[in-house]
Amino acid sequence: MSDQPAILVVDDEKNILTALARALSLDGYAVVTAASGEEALRVVEERSVDLVMLDVKLPGMDGLEVLGLLRSRSPDTPVVMMSGHGTIETAVRATRLGAFDFIEKPINVERILVAVSNALQLGRLRRENVDLRRQIEARYHLVGDSRPMRELRDRIATTAQTNGRVLIRGENGTGKELVARQIHQLSKRRTGPFVRMNCAAVPNELIESVLFGHEKGSFTGATETRRGKFEQANKGTLFLDEIGDMGVQMQSKLLRVLQEGELERVGGSEMISVDVRVISATNKNLEDEIRHGRFREDLYYRINVIPLTVPPLRDRRDDISLLCDHFLRSASDEHGRKMPRLAVDGAQALCAYSWPGNVRELANIIDRLVILGPSDVIDAAAVAQVLPLQALEPACAEMPDTAGGDELPLRERVRMLERELIERELGRHSWNISSAARSLGLERSHLYKKMANLGIGRND
C-alpha cells in the first residue's frame, strides 16, 4: 500500500471526484479527495502526496490561489490543473505559477493517466535531484571542530551572504578548494554553476581563450566558437585556483574584466557581460610575488576583498582524529572493506606527525592504511609502515638502487633517504621549488643547494 504513489484530487463536483478516484485506483494509485482548496491544503499538511490534481474553479479559494500556496509549501510536489472552461490565459497563468500540466474537461481518462504518469516521473526526478544535492553537500562537508576550524566556518558563513571576491590562502592540501565550494553552496548562487579553473595547469598561450572563450577561426585550432570559463560560470561562482601561477600578461586582461564586468572572446568583437562571483586561491605568498614583479598589485587588491586563510593541519591537531574517522569511513566504503578500528597508539602516532601535505596527505595515508594495513585494528606499528619519515627502512627498500643498501654506511643511506624525500616533496608540489621548500621547512636557496648536491633534477 505504502509504495503506491498517492494522488490528491481536488474538485467540488462530486461525480468528477468519484470518476477520477475510480480510474486512478484501478490503475494502481492511492487516491485522496478534497472538495475545496482549504480542505486540500489541510490534507497536504497532514500526509505526504506525490501529485495533486487541482480544479481551477472551486468554491472559496480558487484553484490558482491554492496552486500558489501548494507550490510554496511543498515545492517538489507536481500539480496538474483541470478546468472545464479552460482559456489559454488561465493555462498560461497556471504554468507560470508552476503547474506541471493543464487538462481540459470533460475528463478523458487516457489523457489523465498520461499526465499523471509524466507528473509523477517529474516528482521522482525532483526528489532524486534533492538527494544528489545532499550527497554533493556531504562530500564537500568540512570536517573539523578545532577552534581555527570553527572560526573558519563562521567566516565562510558570513562570506557566503555577500558577493565580495574572496582570496583563499593556505598550504597545499589544507582544503582551499573545499572552502571555495562551501562558500558557493551556502550562497544565493548555489543553484548556479561552480566552475573551477586551475591557472597553473593551463599553458600561457591558451589561458585567455580558456577563460574568456573564442570565436571560430580566431586562431589555428579554433574550429568552433567556445564559451570560456567566465561565461560558463554566469550566475554562479568562478574559482580561480592557483592564481599566483598566472602569467603577468594574463593578469592584466583578468584585471580589465574584473573592473568592467564585461569580456570579449578571443577573436570576438562583441562585449559580453557576465554575472560571476570570483573566488581565488593560492599557496603562494602573493606579497612576495608582487615584490618580485610577478604579480600585479592592482589585481591583488581586486581579488582580495575578503581574505580567508585555511590553517595548516599541524596548527589544528585537534581535528586529526575526526578527520581520520571521516577518511577511514569513506576509504572503507570506497574499497569495499570493513572499517578498521584506530587503536589509541595508532591515533597518537598520526597526531604526532607534522603533515607537511596537510589534509590531502592524511587522506592518502588513511587510504593506504585501509588498502594495505591490517583489516581490524590500526596500531602504531601499522602507522609507522606508511608514514614517510618514520618508515626509514621501507623508504630505502622502495628505492631502485638500494640492492644491497643494507651494507651501505649510514651516511650514504641517509643521503639516499634525503634524496627520496626531497623528490617526493617536489613531485607533490609539481616541482614548484618555493612550495616544496616551504613544506620541508627549508630556505629556497638551501633546497637548491641540496638538490645540486644530491644530483636531483627534473628528468621529463
* Interaction site with Mg ion (CB under 5 A): 177
Question: Which one of Mg ion, ligand ATP, none is in contact with 172 (Cβ closer than 5 to 8 A by kind)?
Answer: ligand ATP
Give the one residue of 83, 172, 185, 304 binding ligand ATP; rule: CB under 6 A. 172
CB 50 within 8 A of CB 138: no
Handedness of CA 269, 270, 273, 276 (dihedral sign): negative
Task: Enter the DSSP assignment of 103.
Answer: E
Alpha-carbon span 187 to 185, nearest angstrom: 6
Give the nearest distance from C-beta 360 to ligand ATP in angstroms.
Answer: 4
Give the nearest distance from C-beta 174 to Mg ion in angstroms.
Answer: 9
Beta bridge partners of 80: 53, 101
Residues in region 346-365 near ligand ATP by CB under 6 A: 359-360, 363
What Cα–Cα distance (Å) separates residue 458 from each residue in 398, 431, 455?
Answer: 19, 8, 10
Q: Confirm or reject binding of residue 331 to ligand ATP (CB under 6 A).
A: no
Cell of 311: 590553517
Q: What is the DSSP string of 223-235?
A: -S-EE-HHHHTTT
Based on CB atoms, which residue is closest to ligand ATP, 144 or 228? 144
User: Burial, 1: exposed, middle or buried (Cβ in 10 Å; 0-12, 13-18, 19+)?
Assistant: exposed
Based on CB atoms, which residue is closest to ligand ATP, 236 or 311? 311
Cell of 263: 569580456
Question: Which one of ligand ATP, Mg ion, none is in contact with 123 (Cβ closer than 5 to 8 A by kind)?
Answer: none
3-class SS of residue 238? strand
Q: Confirm or reject binding of residue 170 to ligand ATP (CB under 6 A).
A: yes
Size of the site for ligand ATP (CB under 6 A): 16
Q: Confirm or reject binding of residue 200 to ligand ATP (CB under 6 A).
A: no
Based on CB atoms, which residue is closest to ligand ATP, 35 or 142? 142
* Calculated CA dihedral for residues 218, 244, 185, 128, nearest 10 degrees: 50
Alpha-carbon span 313 to 322, nearest angstrom: 12
Cell of 246: 598566472
Based on CB atoms, which residue is closest to Mg ion, 11 or 177? 177
Beta bridge partners of 104: 83
Give the one residue of 77, 159, 280, 283 binding ligand ATP; rule: CB under 6 A. 283
Based on CB atoms, which residue is closest to Mg ion, 177 or 423? 177
For the chain, give the number of residues.
Answer: 460
Based on CB atoms, which residue is closest to ligand ATP, 31 or 178? 178
Based on CB atoms, which residue is closest to ligand ATP, 346 or 356? 356
Give start and end residues of each alpha helix (H) in 140-222. Answer: 147-160, 176-186, 204-212
Cell of 229: 570559463
Alpha-carbon span 305 to 301, nearest angstrom: 7
- Vertex 176: Cα angle to 174 and 178 (nearest 5): 105
Q: Confirm or reject binding of residue 63 to ligand ATP (CB under 6 A).
A: no
Give the nearest distance from C-beta 175 to Mg ion in angstroms.
Answer: 8
Residues in region 361-400 near ligand ATP by CB under 6 A: 363
Give the nearest distance from C-beta 197 to ligand ATP in angstroms.
Answer: 13
Residues in region 140-169 near ligand ATP by CB under 6 A: 142-144
Give the nearest distance from C-beta 241 to Mg ion in angstroms.
Answer: 5
Q: Confirm or reject binding of residue 173 to ligand ATP (CB under 6 A).
A: yes
Give the one residue of 5, 37, 78, 175 binding ligand ATP; rule: CB under 6 A. 175
Give the nearest distance from C-beta 176 to ligand ATP in angstroms.
Answer: 3
Based on CB atoms, which residue is closest to Mg ion, 169 or 413? 169
Note the residues at the interface with ligand ATP (CB under 6 A): 142-144, 170, 172-178, 283, 326, 359-360, 363
